[in-house]
Amino acid sequence: MKYDLIEALKQIERERGISLENLLETLENALISAYKKKYGPNKNIKIEVDKVTGNLRMFKLIEGEDIESSKKEIVSTPSDFGRIAAQTVKQILQQRIREASREIMYKEFKDMIGEVMTGIIRQTDQRFTLVDLGKVEALLPQGEQIPGEHYRLSDRIKCYIVNVKKTSRGPQVIVSRTHPGLIKRLFELEVPEISDGIVEINKVAREPGHRSKIAVSSNNKSIDPVGACVGQRGSRVKMVVGELSGERVDIIKYSNDMAEYVRNALSPSKVSDVFINEEEKEACVIVPDDQVSLAIGKDGHNARLAAKLTNWKIDIKSESMWAEEKLKELEEKKGKKEKIKEKKAKRCKAILANGTRCTYKAKPGSDYCGLPAHKKLETKKEN
């Protein structure tokens, strides 16, 4: 074992991030295993590699009554063990480097969950797509692909890292093109005000391949958050839409006022009024008759995304429908009042000692019931 071994180990330490102590320990254990394999498993020995000179020392362990009383006795190294040691060093270092590289790669990508990376399509079929991220090939499952999006070999796409799994072959990175976080990260890349902390993305709601909505706010009153995300002549939002293969993106202003927030969430439709129920987290939204289809959106996308964005149930009604319901309510209330009035008119008009009206029904053709005391009231009235 020569000094150049230590230099080689130190170089591995610098390049691979594996500590010299870890490498030496691994190497010593491997040499012991190689020795026992060659000369018998009953050999109770310990091998140490000097971390300065690289010299190998072999000890025979003499067991005492306990661990503290155990002794080490230096023994001579077999003449042919040098060749075995050299082979072992080569094999164990190669294996350790592979293992360490996998572990380092795993930790590196584990810390990147939630980030966006640009990759190149290397393989694609009906089951999954492989994306080359440079250091590793990531898996883009069918369920994480935008509906209707087709990939060709060598295409460059941006992917959102959703998971990293540790395997015997190294880290398995799972990426997505459908995750709402992808839109958030894309806007962070395109809008400097977001990365600077001036504009904040409060919420993202997405139906991949169809439409998305993002709610934004500004920490600076002089900065319009919606305008910052749209960009001059829509340049910034166009970049995001282009990266998402034409998926439509609505940018709306976030508000702590729920009625205003719901109104904004249903953009681009116009809203006449919003009635909210805080306890049930429900909002009844009134829109002009010609805005109903726009408020609901194609296949209901706009209404569903507005509900996801606000986390509230949203009921959309046209102005005419709302007016009809209110008119019906008024008629029902009027009918109830008339019934009550009619019912009261048929009751006996006698006033009891406690000041309340008699609850019995008046006799036909009379204002009073059949009780004798109340009949007398009828007679007095006639006189």
How does residue 67 score in pLDDT terms, banded at 50, 70 and 90? very low
Residue 268 has pLDDT above 90, yes or no: yes
Identify whether residues 96 and 152 lie together within a single domain: no
Task: State how far the Cα of 101 lies from the Cα of 107, in Å rounded to an integer.
Answer: 10
SS3 64: coil
In a domain, 212, yes or no: no
Identify whether residues 72 and 29 lie together within a single domain: yes
Residue 353 has pLDDT above 80, yes or no: no
Alpha carbon 208 to chain centroid, angstroms: 14
What pLDDT score was predicted for residue 352?
Answer: 85
Among 78, 108, 138, give the residue marking a domain's end: 108
| b/e code 117-153 from CB counts within 10 Å (16+ = b) | bebebeebeeebbbbebeebbbbbeeebbbeebebee
Domain CATH number, residue 162: 2.40.50.140
Neighbours of 370 (CB within 10 A): 12
Domain CATH number, residue 74: 3.30.1480.10
Neighbours of 13 (CB within 10 A): 15
Cβ neighbours of residue 119 under 8 Å, at least 6 residues apart? 131, 132, 133, 134, 138, 156, 157, 158, 159, 175
In a domain, 183, yes or no: no
Identify whether residues 318 and 284 lie together within a single domain: yes
In a domain, 102, yes or no: yes
Among 150, 176, 202, give the residue marking a domain's end: 176
Strand partners, 61: 72
Identify whether residues 42 and 126 lie together within a single domain: no
**Angle, helix 81-110 to helix 3-16, in steps of 10 degrees:** 10
The DSSP 8-state label assigned to residue 50 in this structure reads -
Amino acid 228 reads: A
Task: State how far the Cα of 320 lies from the Cα of 309, in Å rounded to an integer.
Answer: 27
Task: State how far the Cα of 132 lies from the Cα of 88, in Å rounded to an integer.
Answer: 34
Backbone angles phi, psi at 154, to 5 degrees: 80, 0
Identify whether residues 57 and 138 lie together within a single domain: no
In a domain, 145, yes or no: yes
Identify whether residues 102 and 15 lie together within a single domain: yes
Q: Which burial class, exposed, middle or buried, applies to 229 when counting CB atoms under 10 A from its CB (0-12, 13-18, 19+)?
A: buried
Task: State how far the Cα of 304 lies from the Cα of 180, in Å rounded to an integer.
Answer: 15
Identify whether residues 300 and 370 lie together within a single domain: no
Identify whether residues 80 and 125 lie together within a single domain: no
Say if strands 211-218 and 199-207 run parallel, antiparallel, or are unpaired.
antiparallel
Residue 69 has pLDDT above 50, yes or no: no
Backbone angles phi, psi at 307, to 5 degrees: -65, -40
Percent of the chain with pLDDT over 70: 90
Q: Which structural domain, as residue segments, surrounds residue 61?
A: 3-108
Greater model confidence, 306 or 358: 306
**pTM score, two decimals?**
0.70
Identify whether residues 51 and 84 lie together within a single domain: yes
Task: State how far the Cα of 188 lies from the Cα of 194, in Å rounded to an integer.
Answer: 6
Residue 254 has pLDDT above 90, yes or no: yes
| Segment 247-270 mean pLDDT | 96
Tell the residue number behind the tokens 């009024």, with chain if given.
273
Range in 84-98, 116-130, 258-272 with the lowest mean pLDDT:
84-98
Structure tokens at 334: 């009027």
| Segment 185-213 mean pLDDT | 95
In a domain, 132, yes or no: yes
In a domain, 158, yes or no: yes
Identify whether residues 298 and 364 lie together within a single domain: no
What pLDDT score was predicted for residue 39?
Answer: 77
Identify whether residues 336 and 352 lie together within a single domain: no
How does residue 76 score in pLDDT terms, banded at 50, 70 and 90? low
Among 54, 86, 108, give the residue marking a domain's end: 108
| Segment 39-47 mean pLDDT | 75
In a domain, 226, yes or no: no
What pLDDT score was predicted for residue 1?
Answer: 45
In a domain, 195, yes or no: no
> How many separate domains does the chain show?
4
Residue 71 has pLDDT above 70, yes or no: no
Identify whether residues 103 and 7 lie together within a single domain: yes
